[in-house]
A and B are shown apart, each in its own frame.
Chain A
Amino acid sequence: MTAQDVKQQGVGASLLRKEDDRLLRGRGQFVADIRLAGMKDVAFVRSPLAHARVNGVHVPDALRERVVIAEDLKDVKPIRAVSGLAGFKPSDQPILAFEKVRQVGELLAMCVADTRAEAEDMIEAVDLDLEELPAVHDMLAARKPGSALLHEEWGDNVFLETFVDINFEAALDAPIKVTREISTARQSMAPMEGRGTVAVWDKRMEQLVLYTGSQMPHIVRTGLAECLGLGQHQVRIVSPDVGGGFGYKGILLPEDICLGWYAMRCGHPVRWIEDRREHLTAGANCREHHYIITGYADRDGKLLGVDCEATVDSGAYSSYPFSACLEAAQVASILPGPYDFPSYRCRTWSVATNKCPILPYRGVARTGVCYAIELVMDAIARETGLEPHEVRLKNLVGPEQMPFDNITKKHFDSGDYPEALRRAMAAIDLPALRARQNEGEPDGRLIGIGQAIYCEQGAHGTSVYAGWGIPMVPGHEQATARMTPDGGLELRVGVHSHGQSMETTLPQIAHEILGIDVSRIKLVHGDTEYTPYSTGSWGSRCAVMAGGAVATASREIAKLAKGIGAHLLQAKPDQVELVDGRVVGPSGSVSLQEIAHTWYRLPQNLPDGVDPRGLEATIGHKPVRDSGTFSYAAHVAVVAVDPEMGDIEILDYVIVEDGGKLINPMVVDGQIYGGLAQGIGTALYEEMNFDASGQPLASTFADYLLPGPTEVPAPRLDHMETLAPYTEFGVKGIGEGGAIAPPAAIGNAVNDALKGLGVELTQTPMTPRRVLEAIGKAASGKAGASADMTAQGELA
């Protein structure tokens, strides 16, 4: 190992991933791969109706032993995720529904059999007596008086209403005023692996062991123990390899509780593996936003104010731990984004409907917010006759203003937003594209250019979350670093990697400080028994928080090792330094391996006064200021729209991202590529429709379209690396950003392409049908009465 090799493994190195080998050989271990002796399979009886009174769940006597129903769970507490925000109305999510069901797919009974197929056979034998109630499927109608009610005791369907007014009156005289109604569809996160749980009672440890694909094993432990009335020492959560999360696996599931309860009583392990139909019909839980938003500006495109009414469909219950208001309540504070303007008003509603409870999906709330504000910025550009990027450049916070507290007191830590946009625009050659646009395409398609810029607040700290008062508030993130007797290193963290490459990147951080070869650094994670408490992996926080904790703990190891090394070198601690894995003193050096060997195997060689902590440290980390890191990016899309078929093709896509210091640039690029693919899904393909009785209208991937290789372009990436001022190495969280801007950038590009037809789309996904409907509507608006669409299309 040369010094050069060592440097190639530290912070900033595009090191190949340690987790790849097992995954590429099919030797990963996901929940469904776990094999325990005597394990039985579970299938759930789920509600076919969105809203109904449960008059009875009848189980044949012969099956009663193997079917769990609500009355069995009398002593189990419902799931309750309360927010401390004023006026929040809590909901109780039953583990198995009794009294009422409030969404299609809600659990009514659990069937246990030798195989999943047999458990599904049992479902047919359970007779449901459900009395259908009017379903609440439209969040706007649900807000109105007279709507059917999900939680009758509330008197309405609103979990939470918020209102903020900052000098709004001042904007009213603005010469330019654009109002848009904007909405994003409900989506399924659709990780390739669904959820799954294996539960078993460990007799020796007197502990319920639950293997579940989770982004936050410690939070699941806390919530599960509370519902089941167990001490937390009686619960161990193991999250093995996780096949993608994106927020979907950041939740305490009623299924977890049901399996846990049963495993404590039945004497054998039980397993539930969510199938794709369950995922799609019972788990479409994100992104459904509606905005009525007005931008006020002067004739030069300077933004003077924003007024917004935002409604978020929160589904039937408040999910643990993020609560039902996480999206809507955030909307008000993040809508202004990186724009500097003086007047603002925003009212938000988190509305209960007969759909599954909302969860935070990659880019939580920001994807919808970015779509709303960025469409308005383009509308202002059209109104003023300016190029959209010119309008943005007039309003973006400048680098000289950093750090900058925006109108909602978000603390922008660093960065040069205008530069990101300028670079992205330079990459596409706008004048050439405008010329091409004017000339027209030979195939009759219409091309358009769109852009979007956003900020991604990552690593939210205590000060951010305490105000929400939800069951989970992050504090100091902890890591354990422990040298092994052979000179290797174990890192233990409470966050969990489900594709983020932390088995590679966190060792890179330890390597940066200790110089130990990454191949000898083992990340231990995904097991509450072995790791420090953590709120888990969410909100672009792992690199900053767990990374910071690993750095802090590694420094402590360095200090401890130097103490032992100094003794071995017969020097004073302040005379030695740690260089490339060796403690170097005035008269020689000793390797970390020798130091570890001495500590563990030859303690007789150490003096009595040696630091008894040895070579192990658990230490917490919090950034100097915990209001979050602000990474950001400018996205520019060039699209071609087929006005006859409504198809949209992405011709070019440029992203200029500032993620601060990149621990592993290859991994960061991967996060952006993946986020972009999901953002394209939001923009063009993914949509879970519900009919008026609350039935979800997609139960397969033939109905719910995920972008495939031909739907996602290879984007061009460019990085700026403005170091974050408050974090270790200047790292910023970037895990979600790729998914935030695409609907806005693509939406603006489509509208740019169609502007000659007088068409502006303000709804995602922009399906061929929506494109054609909008073209037809604009055309008939021009042509007057009921135009023949066929003829219109042919003329277009």
Chain B
Amino acid sequence: MKPVNFDYARPKDVAGVLPLIADDSRTVKIMAGGQSLGPMLNMRLVQPDLVVDITGIEELRQVVETPDAIVMGGCITHADIEDRRVPDMTRGALPAVAGGIAYRAVRNRGTIGGSITHADPSADWISILSALGATVTLRGPGGSRSVAVEDYMLGALEADLRPGEMLVSVSVPKLSVSARWGYYKSCRKTGEFAHAIGAFLVDPERGVSRAVFGATESRPIVIADARQLLGEGTATEPGRDFDSRLAGELVEAGGMSDPIDRQTHVVALRRAIQQAGSA
């Protein structure tokens, strides 16, 4: 389990990366923390000609606070978020979820940008960031554009990157003080790939009520207005009137044909919502 030979580049800025990844005469792979790519390289599932290490780029390791969001460079690690080296404006949602990603040694190198670009359906960031309404900023030859996280993921292992484009930052909206969230993932053992994820956010001040079914083997199923799932839509006790049948129909419509998968995803979301209710 040793990788194929590849060339290696460590540009000092994003401008240095773009020409390298624009070269389609060879297979070029961007590497951030390498915690998902590393295993695939070792197993030779991925056989690049060139690996572009972006962890030397200062811009990608920075955090900027705007009036209504926290903007994290793509190379911010799970541990940076878990340890609150990145200020938390999500009422604890991001640090809590970060602390449950894989294992500490992995979190010390694994990055938020790398994780969502790798687009593993079972990974945590895709689900919780979709629930929080986060966006990513991509930069390429044609300049920058922003995309909602759930749209950035096109499907299993496929992100919406145009030729020559890379992710530079993730922007997470600041939650109101009355906001509540819940996150439930079903794993057979600690740190394992999730088999079902439920994520939920209610932020009445901002008029947001979002629910996400994650770990679907594909992109997450996002319910942008989750009030329909919650009976009258009151946020006082959101778990109580959860409409399991409707939730089941939603995941089925989202392409989930297996009844047990549907059941576990519905229960995961219900538990996430209950968690928010009891928080």
Contact = CB atoms under 8 A, between A and B. Distances in A.
Interface of A: 115-117, 120-121, 275-277, 644-647, 685, 699-700, 702, 705, 707-711, 767-769, 772-773, 776, 788-794
B206 interface: no
Given A117-B3, A644-B267, A772-B264, A791 B245 contact: yes
Contacts of B266: 790, 793-794
B244 A705 contact: no
B189 A708 contact: yes
Contacts of A773: 260
B160 to A, nearest CB: 25
Contacts of A709: 190
B25 interface: no
Contacts of B191: 708
A673 to B, nearest CB: 18
Nearest to B262: A790
B44 A645 contact: no
Interface in B181-199: 186, 188-193, 195-196
B4 A772 contact: no
A275 B189 contact: no
Contact of A710 (B3, B4, B190): B190
A768 B196 CA distance: 12
B1 interface: yes
B189 A685 contact: yes
B189 A794 contact: no
Interface of B: 1-5, 39, 43-44, 186, 188-193, 195-196, 244-245, 248, 259-260, 262-264, 266-268
13 contacts: A120-B2, A705-B189, A705-B192, A707-B189, A710-B189, A768-B186, A768-B188, A768-B195, A776-B259, A790-B262, A793-B266, A794-B263, A794-B267
A713 to B, nearest CB: 14
Nearest to B249: A790
A511 B43 CA distance: 50
A274 to B, nearest CB: 10
A709 B3 CA distance: 30
A117 B267 CA distance: 46
B263 A644 contact: yes
Contacts of B44: 120
A710 B187 CA distance: 12
Contacts of A707: 189
B131 to A, nearest CB: 20
A275 B262 contact: no
A789 B4 contact: no
Contact of B259 (A705, A711, A788): A788
A121 B4 contact: yes
> Which of B2, B190, B195 has the largest count of A CB atoms less than 10 A from its CB?
B2
Contact of A708 (B190, B195, B248): B190
A711 B189 contact: yes
Contacts of A793: 263, 266-267
B263 A789 contact: yes
Contacts of A647: 186, 188
Nearest to B247: A790
A121 B5 contact: yes
**Residue among A275, A646, A792, A794 with max Cβ neighbours from chain B (10 Å):** A794
A791 B245 CA distance: 7
Contacts of B43: 277, 699-700
A48 to B, nearest CB: 13
A294 to B, nearest CB: 31
Contacts of A699: 43
Given A705-B189, A793-B267, A275 B248 contact: no
Given A120-B2, A789-B260, A645 B188 contact: no
Nearest to B266: A790
B191 to A, nearest CB: 7
A277 B2 CA distance: 11
